[in-house]
Amino acid sequence: MSIAITLNVNGRDYALEVRPNEILLNVIRDRLGMMGTKYGCGIGECGACTVLLDGRAILSCQTLAFTADGRKITTIEGLEQDGSLDPIQQAFIDEGAVQCGYCTPGMILSAKALLDVKADPSTEEIKQAIRGNLCRCTGYTNIIRAIKSAATKIAKKERKTK
């Protein structure tokens, strides 16, 4: 048995047939070929599979694909605009918040979800937003600094466009 769904991933519609028990993570990676979304623990504990679903950070390993029918999904591949990295992606590079890189897509998408609703988050708000994303390499200091830096850059860019 399969279910016909349409997913809007990074602004593009995909018509798919999915099994009732097929998780969104597998559809994104195996069927759509977007490898930035990582398989980590498979039980919703590490955050490596984080994507945005209608702008909200979710764990794609814990989300049945058919429940995303007709909804907007953003993966790390969808943040780049016109050949330029998103300010959050650039801040992670600039602040040295990337080491092995496995957690980075999930961290960046969790940060994006936060910064889309809170322009100037406190350190505690940042910690809360990334609490479901595990990193074994950085100790989180550079990640928090990168998110703060991105918030500042985004605010400056928005002031310039007004």
* Mean pLDDT value across residues 94-101: 94
72-74 vs 3-9, strand pairing mode: parallel
CA distance 54 to 72: 5
pLDDT in tens, 98-136: 999 999 999 999 999 999 999 999 999 999 999 999 999
- pLDDT tier at 90, thresholds 50, 70, 90: very high
CA distance 137 to 105: 14
Intrachain domains 3-78 and 87-161 with the same fold: no
- Answer yes or no: CATH 3.40.50.880 is held by domain 87-161: no
pLDDT in tens, 103-113: 999 999 999 99
CATH of domain 3-78: 3.10.20.30
Residue 138 pLDDT > 90, yes or no? no
The Cβ of residue 136 has, within 10 Å, a number of other Cβ atoms equal to 10
pLDDT in tens, 42-52: 999 999 999 99
Question: What are the sequence ranges of the domains in the chain?
Answer: 3-78, 87-161
How much is the mean pLDDT over the chain?
A: 96
* pTM for the full predicted model: 0.95
pLDDT in tens, 61-82: 999 999 999 999 999 999 998 9
* Mean pLDDT value across residues 155-162: 81
